[in-house]
Amino acid sequence: MVSARRIWRAVLAGTAVLAVTAGCAVSAGSGSGTLIGAAAADLGAARAVTGQVYATRASGPLALDLFLPEGAGPHPLVVYAHGGGWDAGDRGLDGHRAVGGAAESLAAERMISRGFAVATVDYRLSDLAPAPAQVEDVAEAVRWLQSHAGAWGLDADRVVLWGASAGGLLVSQLGAITDDPGEPGGGLTGIRAVIDWFGPTDLSAEAELATPQLSDYSRRTVRKYLGCMPSECPQHAAAASPIRNLSGAEPPYLIQHGTKDSLVPIAQSLNFAAELRELGVDVSLHPYDDFDHGFTPGPSVPMIVDAIDEFLAAHV
């Protein structure tokens, strides 16, 4: 597993404090966001900061939205990475813009009601940069939020990573490399838990050969994300796969996945959970019979949200 980390390093070798005033703009470094009062805040938040730039790349700025609960804090923080095959989607998670439908919004609302702050982050899409750019971007957003924790009443030592689909891989990878600061995005501190919603966890050449029935969409998105098909770049593909980077030092994982998923086989989550358990990592796996890819509105959504609630209460 550690060899995969060394591989990615080899692949890579070859290739201001926030001031907040109600109703006013806020800024930090080169970015700025807009503070929205309680009347306008979505997801049940007491306050929301939208469009806050946390980094600037050659391709442009990267922004996040931060939804804050009632009270002065410090509040534990959930950082959400969106899905979309790494080449689509954005950070929108309010009830009007959520790409994945109501499930993400309902989960975020529950978290905020329990005193968690929720940040949703953009990252470079694969049209702009291949892996590991996306992992690095989400990691930088986490570090930016931690560095400004005092301004927002956040607890920098109680951070949860949450991602759906493509974002599920990103947060699973970050959880897998928390003990290795030499990896792209690695060495994050204060990570108490990871929530993976139906994310792929093995992009290796072996996984490609084992799933010849993958859809054209899945093959296209994997090729764009890696910059190659796994069989064409097995070392890079292994380094980009969370299951190939596990060490046993990972935080607890909650994995939720539909059994009828036609884009990301549930076997990916089953195998990932088994590997985590083999290494002694605390993992909760919840398969759901009535879902394909994505948790669209339905009778099981409250159960999905309840499972998150219980997991966070136990680990954060």
Q: What is the CATH number of the domain that holds 267?
A: 3.40.50.1820
Q: How many CB atoms lie within 10 A of CB 215?
A: 10
- pTM given for the model: 0.89
pLDDT, position 37? 58
253-258 and 75-81 beta bridge pairing: unpaired
47-57 and 31-36 beta bridge pairing: antiparallel
Residue of higher predicted confidence among 277 and 31: 277
75-81 and 191-197 beta bridge pairing: unpaired
Cβ–Cβ < 8 Å for 62, 110: no
- Counting the structural domains of the chain, the total is 1
Q: Is the residue at 88 inside a domain?
A: yes
Q: Is the residue at 157 inside a domain?
A: yes
Task: Please state, rounded to an integer, the average pLDDT across all residues of the chain.
Answer: 87
Q: Which ranges of 114-156 would DSSP assign to H, the alpha helix?
A: 133-147, 149-152
pLDDT, position 30? 36
Give the least confident one: 19-28, 161-170, 197-206. Answer: 19-28
**Exposure pattern of 246-284 as b/e (b: 16+ CB <10 Å)?**
beeebbbbbbbbbeebebbbbebbbebbebbeeeebebb
Q: Is the residue at 17 inside a domain?
A: no
Q: Is the residue at 115 inside a domain?
A: yes
User: Side-chain half-sphere of 99: how many Cα atoms within 13 Å?
Assistant: 20
pLDDT, position 16? 29
What angle (nearest 5°) sits at the alpha carbon of residue 266, between those of residues 185 and 283?
60
| Three-state secondary-structure class, residue 36 | strand
Spatial CA neighbour of 243 closest among 177, 160, 161: 177
CA distance 171 to 279: 19
Q: Is the residue at 98 inside a domain?
A: yes
| Three-state secondary-structure class, residue 200 | coil
Q: Is the residue at 16 inside a domain?
A: no
Task: Report the pLDDT averaged over residues 159-185.
Answer: 97
pLDDT, position 38? 53
Residue 18 clears pLDDT 80, i.e. is over it: no
Task: Report the pLDDT averaged over residues 1-16.
Answer: 41
Contacts with 102 (C-beta within 8 Å, 6 or more apart), sequence order:
95, 296, 297, 301
Q: Is the residue at 18 inside a domain?
A: no
Q: Is the residue at 198 inside a domain?
A: yes
Q: 276 is in which domain, residue-wise?
A: 2-11+23-315
Residue 97 clears pLDDT 60, i.e. is over it: no
Residue 288 clears pLDDT 90, i.e. is over it: yes
Q: How many CB atoms lie within 10 A of CB 107?
A: 28
